[in-house]
Amino acid sequence: MSKLEKYLAKAQEPVQRRTGSVSICGDEWSVRELTMPESRECFRLAEDVNGRFDSFRYNDVRIVKATEHEFPWNNKELLLAYRAKDKFELPVKLFERDPVGYQALLDKVNEVNSRVKSEQEVVEDLKNSSEPTENQAISVGHSSTDGEDQPIS
């Protein structure tokens, strides 16, 4: 099988993600691992118009992306009820009276995504690696997420 055939076949495979769940106020929330494109989108969506990074919005975006497979964050009635301009503004409003629930959900998002290294962690690993510099520069920003969905308790 050629390299091209291998990657064409991979394009048809479903993305395998780690998953986890957390109970908040009697409701079970399912959290899934973010893909690399989703992680990048989280960073982009957390920047304001001037390019400043908003860590609170980043957390809200990550919560939405990790749970939107089962929760209708973009439901118009929900957005109107909480006076949210978009789905990424909903987590903080939805859990306004339950900060412990918000933190539990964020902790589970962090836990499920803990295997995915940040760009800074990758850079540090590469600095401490004995690989030649050319190979290091090529691999920055990429991480391996092999395996099937692996539930986290």
Name the DSSP class of 150: -
Please give the full DSSP string across 51-105, using - where no structure is assigned. Answer: S-B-HHHHHHHHHHHHHTTTS-TT-HHHHHHTT-SSGGGHHHHHTTT-HHHHHHH
**123: pLDDT strictly greater than 70:** no
**Inter-CA distances, 20 with 4, 48, 96, 109, Å:** 34, 30, 23, 8
Q: How many angstroms separate the first and last alpha carbons of the chain?
A: 39
Give residue-wise pLDDT tens across range 6-56: 889 888 888 788 999 999 999 999 999 998 899 999 999 999 889 999 999
Within 10 angstroms of residue 89's Cβ, the number of other Cβ atoms is: 18
Per-residue model confidence as pLDDT tens digits over 2-18: 999 888 988 888 878 89
The fraction of the chain above a pLDDT of 70, given in percent, is: 77
Task: Quote the pTM value.
Answer: 0.72
Please check whether the domain covering 18-116 is classified as CATH 3.30.2220.30.
yes
